Amino acid sequence: MQIYKVGGAVRDRLLGLPVTDIDWVVVGATTEEMLTKGFRPVGADFPVFLHPGTGEEYALARTERKSGRGYGGFTFHASPEVTLEEDLIRRDLTINAMAEDGQQNLTDPYHGQRDLENRILRHVSPAFAEDPLRVLRVARFAARYAALGFTVAPETLELMRQLSESGELEALTAERSWKEISRALMEDQPHVFIQTLRDCGALKVLMPEVDALFGVPQPEAHHPEIDSGIHTLSVLEQAAQHQQPLTVRWACLLHDLGKGLTPEEEWPRHIAHEHKGLKLIKAVNERFKAPKDCQDLALLVGQYHTHGHRALELKASTLLELLQSFDVYRRPQRFEEFIVACEMDARGRKGLEQRSYPQADYLRGAAKVAREVAVQPLLEKGFRGPELGEALKRERLKALKTYKDTASA
């Protein structure tokens, strides 16, 4: 039995990056031997075990053969006869197909170290094209390592393009797709993930609503970058630079989908794009079964982001309706995420990345004023049920009018 550290742990050590997760491959062992040594089996698909002490994953060396469509369409074969090289060749990228023993002696049959040095993301073998999930994975690695200068090898991009055109991407489950998308959006440069998907034709398959934004012009006075797709990438880039959570990043990606529906004869204006985009945002949310907090914020940002930009001009009654829509009294964090999404939208414009956004503090102040309206005095006046709700609304409107007058004085 020989044990090797493999994959990301080896890659990141060689890059001088922190190593978080460690995966191990066991060569020359049987399931029975692993159980005898106290390892606990996990998963039904192939022999993976948890170490009795550390809880880390140890997998028996295995080969795989394509047997159906999609990510799960593989038959695995694990036995003591499978070599380390045979196990490594089934992996996606050369930089993930290296192993090292306990003395850090490197096994690198597919030149992953050379590709690390040359900053290249390259597939290990033609079998890469058998797994559609690898299109998303490579795009995610492109986003993760873009700051280090990594690019996708042309021949790998071509295989990704072939996969995108094959219909295999449609076989991916919503859960597997969302896992890769959500991880990619939380990388330092998530816009590279979207751009890479577009470069290989996968964006058109997975998110045609986002792909449709590219080439659609906007008024140059408000959008010096002009192109709606480029703007979306810039907004996502700003969200990452400001270390926003997944909910905000997802909303930033989808906020302008309605612009893709504007007839060409109406360009570069996009009247009512906020309302038109809601059905598209809902469709993307459902396609990937995004978590409810991501779904809700994306829809709210899509519908109300122009309200955010015009916050200083809104009538007190419109401001109150906006606050009610977000349920700021019970869900203050959601309104805060809306505010920062609007700010990322305002900054995601060529040359305006450092612009001030006074609307943010103005909206925060409005929410604070509305929340501070006390219920007790109204109860003491005898208001109950629906009448109490109306009275509370009147008091909040009065407070917002005072706030608005004071802010504009």
Taken as a whole, the chain contains a residue count of: 409
Tell me the whole-structure pTM to 2 decimals.
0.93
CA 280/CA 254 separation, integer angstroms: 9
**What pLDDT is recorded for position 154?**
98
383's CB contacts (< 8 A; 6+ apart) are 391, 392
pLDDT score at 21:
83
Q: Which domain holds residue 325?
A: 243-370
Residue 304 lies in a domain: yes
Residue 371: which residues within 8 A CB-CB, separation 6 or more?
328, 329, 332
Q: What per-residue confidence (pLDDT) applies to 328?
A: 95
- Specify whether 88 is located in the same domain as 18: yes
In a domain, 195, yes or no: no
Does one domain contain both 286 and 383? no
Instruction: Count CB neighbours of 266 within 10 A.
Output: 9
363/387 same-domain check: no
pLDDT value at position 44? Answer: 65
Residues 311 and 382 in one domain: no
- Distance CA(13)–CA(98), nearest Å, equals 11
* Token pair listed for 212: 């449709």
CA dist., res. 77 & res. 63, Å (int): 5
Number of domains composing the chain: 3
Residue 51 lies in a domain: yes
Q: What is the pLDDT of residue 66?
A: 57
Q: Which helix (H) or strand (E) is 292 found in, with range?
A: helix 292-309
- Kindly state whether residues 252 and 274 are assigned to the same domain: yes
- 188 is a domain residue: no
Is 5 a domain residue? Answer: yes
pLDDT of residue 20: 86
Q: Profile the chain (409 residues) by mean pLDDT over runs of 10 residues.
A: 94 94 92 92 80 92 67 67 94 96 95 98 93 96 98 98 94 96 98 98 98 98 96 98 98 98 97 97 98 98 98 97 95 97 98 96 97 93 92 96 91
Question: In 3-state terms, the chain is what percent helix, strand and coil (to 5)?
Answer: 55, 10, 30
Identify the domain boundary among 65, 85, 115.
115
| Whether residues 270 and 331 fall in one domain | yes
Classify residue 140: in a domain, yes or no: no
Please give the Cα distance from 218 to 221 (Å, whole number).
9
**304 in helix, strand or coil?**
helix
Residues 93 and 54 in one domain: yes
Instruction: Tell me 109's DSSP state.
Output: T
**Residue after which a domain boundary falls, among 115, 136, 163:** 115
Given 115, 131, 157, which residue is the final one in a domain?
A: 115
Q: Tell me if 290 is assigned to some domain.
A: yes
In a domain, 94, yes or no: yes
pLDDT in tens, 259-296: 999 999 999 999 999 999 999 999 999 999 999 999 99
Looking at the fold, whether 358 and 386 belong to one and the same domain comes out as no
